[in-house]
Amino acid sequence: MSTIVVGAGLAGLTAARRLHDGGDDVVVLEAQPHVGGRTRTLRERLQYGQVADLGASWIDIGQDKLLEYCAQFGIAITPQVALFPTEPDGRLCAASPLRATLMVGDRRLPDEERDTVADEVRAALATVPPLPTEPVQAWASRAGLSPLAHRVFCSQSGYNPVHEPSQIPMSMFEPPHVGRACWMMADGTDSLAQAIGTGLDVRLEQPVRLVRRGRGGLVVETDTDRFTARDVVVATPVTPTLRIGFDPVLPPWKIDALLATPMTQGGKVIGQYDHGAEITRAFGLSAMSDGPISLAWTRPVGPDDSVVVLGLLADRGDGVLRDEERCLDALDRFVAAATGLRPARLAGLVQDWTQEQYAGGVVSVLLGDFPRLPSLLAQSVGPVHFAGEHTAEMWATGMDGALRSGERAADDVLRRRRVRSRGPAPRP
């Protein structure tokens, strides 16, 4: 075969699809028994055939590559929503998410109190302009936010991008670049990966352990098999990439770049409840809290007035994320506080991305593309090419970035072929 793609997440499948469509002979090796990587969807755990998106959920306006792929592959999307209310003047700023349903502890803040907090943050953004690279928590302190405003403003980092507020630059929040107009994939996030992968030669449960140069090309070794190819596209997340052996050893600049790109740690809690219409109405666009679940939102109401609520949790090392009961209990209390109801939980599950050995975390920490490592992470090392959200020049850490990186890696392979096929210069 001519190319092996390591990893059947969105990036790997996109690279494989582009190469396949260009006439290349491609095999995709995937460690897990399923495709989709961090866009995985479970279809058996909830009632009424409702889908549970374990990883990525949202498509945002401006993610044009992702929108283009959804159109191309006929992926149905849910009705358009805004994730956060706008300011009274119709604009969106870093304070706007605080105007969503807001819980402090197990108490829902009355709308007036909530808007006072949001107004305080908005005023601070104007009077103490943040530096783009300033950590969120550092700015909140420098700006002198009141303890309540400080706490809820910082807790946004728990969902965007599931990390600590001290590790996120203000450019992630101000100006906001997500939440204005968003959609979910109606049949589950992994429907895009399934569609892109259809017709490709994807070998499941083939974790790659070693990529080495052999006679006539590259040899890729899994636990059970050995494959050879002219080029390899490594489309695994940062941590799993550091777990693959390379012979010859990857150059220092590549390993340094990977080591300088840790992954955020956290997971998702998903519950299905009755009283779906009331929960949806009470949540409004989305609901956030300063507790373990930083943001939760609903999918469109399903059969028998059921609804799926999805919540994001950053891993604080306190054991909450490892304990399914505690997570689901936290979601129950979150829903109860937001709605004033005690809806019955029909089903529930927790996905801990920290513990997933073939993920190693939620997303790379290239937040706001700072400190400018994606282009280094993207560069090929001879016949070894790299894809993945962390290598994207734009929307790094998102599905859109994964797609962009896959296309770019496929182009890297083809460009290398073009350059090589010219052969030596003709003699005069």
Positions in the binding site for another protein (CB under 8 A): 131-135, 137-144, 164-167, 169, 209-210, 212, 239, 242-247, 249-250, 252, 255-256, 259-262, 265, 316-319, 322, 354-355, 357, 360, 365, 367, 370-371, 373
Query: Which lies closer to another protein via its Cβ, residue 144 or residue 382?
Result: 144
Please report how close the Cβ of residue 222 comes to another protein at its closest, in angstroms.
11
Minimum distance, C-beta of residue 350 to another protein, in the bound complex (Å) = 13
Q: Nearest approach, Cβ of 144 to another protein (angstroms)? A: 8
Nearer of residues 14 and 239 to another protein, judged by Cβ: 239
80 vs 133, beta carbon nearer another protein? 133
Closest distance to another protein from the beta carbon of 256 (Å) = 5
Q: Report in angstroms how near the CB of residue 83 gets to another protein at its nearest.
A: 25
Which residue, 239 or 286, is less far from another protein as judged by CB? 239
- Minimum CB distance to another protein, residue 156 (Å): 15
Give CA angle at 160 (156, 162), nearest 5°: 95
Q: CB-wise, 198 or 357, nearer to another protein? A: 357
| Least CB distance to another protein at residue 25 (A) | 26
Identity of the residue, 2 or 137, whose beta carbon is nearer to another protein in the bound complex: 137
Pick 372 or 427: Cβ nearer another protein = 372
